[in-house]
Structure 1
Amino acid sequence: MTSDASAPESPSAPLYSPARVRELLTRHGLRPTKSLGQNFLIDGNILRAIAQSGGAEPGVSVLEVGPGLGVLTRELAGRGARVTALEKDERLRPVLEETLAGLDVRVVWGDALDFDYASLPAGTRVIANLPYYITGPLLARFMGAPGIVSATVLVQKEVAGRLAAKPGGDAYGFLSALAALHGTVTHVRDVPKGAFLPAPDVTSSVVRLDFDRTRPAPEPGFVAFVDHALRHRRKTLRNNLRMMGHAGETVDAAIAGQGLRADVRAEDVPLENLRHLARALGVVR
């Protein structure tokens, strides 16, 4: 969409209209802050697809991180979801008071990394355009919160690839393993740069993570073990485990006991084999 700068778009225009977004920013004296990862969605079809695939329905508890101008927030609340939105940028208070007026939305002001995710009610679904610079830490917090059953999020396409990667793939790493330990990952769709204002430097993707809360949460010791094992890519699993402090002879015996090659790399080893190795090395029972 385009509009004549000399003729501001009507306030009744959709909030995702580029002209409406620019008008809001100008009227409130705001500019998107790159350090906070502020890229506002301006594609109505993608907004609806995110809300739909995320499960925003009447009565559902939804958590949004980084509502920005409230574009996605309005879509979620308009579907009857009970929305809690976490926002760090205090400059957006008057904007959100305007754009979310009359909607069932609770805005919590503060850093999303400091929020108590364990306080969320059971059945909560995260639906958000995540700030790219804290995507990994946020996803880890979602996975560890027992009340969150899914997270449908906009992330960098590269991160989406890492989340869905399997052992042996070029993109496989700790984030891939962590996602697999907690549930499943589904690629929803790619999102072009032009769907945002301002346009980011990278292509984005929508992914949905479904967390299986019927299985026991992975032991912290095993999660740390996997993290260390995968931390130094292109090094052998043997070397990584020795760097963790395990004796070389013990490591060699454990690797051989799994029928793995002595020079195998951690990113090529299935999680079940890593779990057996962790048991053999006394990391977990």
Structure 2
Amino acid sequence: MTDPVAPPTDLPLYSPARVRELLARHGLKPTKSLGQNFLIDGNILRAIAEAGGAAPGVPVLEVGPGLGVLTREVATRGARVTALEKDERLRPVLAETLAGQGVEVVWGDALDFDYSTLPPGTRVIANLPYYITGVLLSRFMGAPNVLSATVLVQKEVGQRLAAHPGEDNYGFLSALAALHGRVRHVRDVPKGAFFPAPDVTSSVIRLDFDRERPAPEPAFLTFVEAALHHRRKTLRNNLRLAGYPAPGIDAALEAAGLRPDVRAEDVPLDMLRAAATALGVVR
């Protein structure tokens, strides 16, 4: 009878062999429904931590730590990390991989977490579950103590976040990001940087939130979402579909200096606000 092969603990946590060994030893398989694609590229990990501002004493929030690969990279830089994890099967894995790192793991659904409780100056650094990316980003934007979010997202989502009016990828997510701050594309990430490999290319995006700027009014956000609901339609038609009266829309477009046939995706945010003001949505 041969002796069992010792686990490759001398390998970096992000190495494919170490990841496979951890999963096998704990009897786990990545769950597609939870968006579990684990990073196995050290250069990408270091780039995310660096771009996210992980540094001694900085409060960092991570959503979906998985096996703790990115978590450990951020924690070893001295950041004070809080990690939100939904998958209870990962308890023994994270107890092992994050031992001695001072990371606080909060078990539960990220959609149920109260982001207003985060300490001032928090920076989000995370490989977000792709299926709830938009919802989570809106939660970060609305949390006053979150200064930035450096996140791995689908490449097309990154393109939408960074798009400007008149560009093909511009939509409500683009407008939402612009209303709260600015977006920077850090780098693209190939499928092979993950285990298992996802079906799409990813991007690292950093969003910086301008907390000196007044938060956009909920009524204006609702108006912008309605205006951009069908990006290829005219703004006039979108507003009519949202229930605004046609005479009021026509008057508002004229007051804002917009053509009656202007497409929603071509309208800058300041002109949308002018139209919303003329319609009485905001003051």
Q: Which amino acid aligns with 1:191?
A: V
How far residue 254 of structure 1 moved from its aligned partner, in angstroms, is 1.1
The residue number in structure 2 matching 1:77 is: 75
The alignment status of 1:117 with 2:110, answered yes or no, reads no
The residue number in structure 2 matching 1:202 is: 200
Q: Which amino acid aligns with 1:188?
A: V
Report 1:158-169 matches (<5 A). Answer: 158-169=156-167
The alignment status of 1:15 with 2:13, answered yes or no, reads yes
The alignment status of 1:28 with 2:15, answered yes or no, reads no
Q: Secondary structure at the match of 1:231?
A: coil
The alignment status of 1:189 with 2:184, answered yes or no, reads no
Q: Which amino acid aligns with 1:53?
A: A
How far residue 154 of structure 1 moved from its aligned partner, in angstroms, is 0.2
How far residue 233 of structure 1 moved from its aligned partner, in angstroms, is 2.4
Structure 2: 5+ residue stretches without partners: none
The alignment status of 1:218 with 2:216, answered yes or no, reads yes
The alignment status of 1:175 with 2:186, answered yes or no, reads no
The residue number in structure 2 matching 1:234 is: 232
The residue number in structure 2 matching 1:269 is: 267
Alpha-carbon displacement from aligned partner over 1:255-279 (angstroms, at most 9, x marks no partner): 1222221111111100000001111
The answer (yes or no) to whether the contact 1:8–1:23 under 8 Å persists in 2 is no
The residue number in structure 2 matching 1:37 is: 35
Q: Which amino acid aligns with 1:99?
A: T
Alpha-carbon displacement from aligned partner over 1:168-203 (angstroms, at most 9, x marks no partner): 111000000000000000000000000000000000
Partners in 1 of 2:10 and 2:75 — Cα distance?
18
The residue number in structure 2 matching 1:49 is: 47
Q: Secondary structure at the match of 1:225?
A: helix
Q: Secondary structure at the match of 2:183?
A: strand
Alpha-carbon displacement from aligned partner over 1:62-91 (angstroms, at most 9, x marks no partner): 000000000000001000000000000000
Q: Secondary structure at the match of 1:103?
A: coil
Q: Secondary structure at the match of 1:83?
A: strand
The residue number in structure 2 matching 1:89 is: 87
Partners in 2 of 1:261 and 1:7 — Cα distance?
72
Partners in 1 of 2:5 and 2:183 — Cα distance?
44
Q: Secondary structure at the match of 2:228?
A: helix
The answer (yes or no) to whether the contact 1:8–1:19 under 8 Å persists in 2 is no
Partners in 2 of 1:111 and 1:29 — Cα distance?
22
Match of 1:131 among 125, 129, 132: 129
Pairwise CA RMSD of aligned residues? 1.0
Query: How high is the TM-score relative to the length of structure 2?
Result: 0.97
Match of 1:141 among 114, 121, 139: 139
Q: Which amino acid aligns with 1:25?
A: L
Partners in 2 of 1:14 and 1:75 — Cα distance?
11
Name segments (4+ residues, structure 1) moved above 6 Å: none
Partners in 1 of 2:159 and 2:218 — Cα distance?
25
The residue number in structure 1 matching 2:150 is: 152
The answer (yes or no) to whether the contact 1:9–1:19 under 8 Å persists in 2 is no
The residue number in structure 2 matching 1:259 is: 257
The answer (yes or no) to whether the contact 1:238–1:252 under 8 Å persists in 2 is yes
The answer (yes or no) to whether the contact 1:129–1:155 under 8 Å persists in 2 is yes
How far residue 161 of structure 1 moved from its aligned partner, in angstroms, is 0.0
Aligned length: 280
Give percent identity, aligned residues only: 78
Partners in 2 of 1:105 and 1:257 — Cα distance?
54
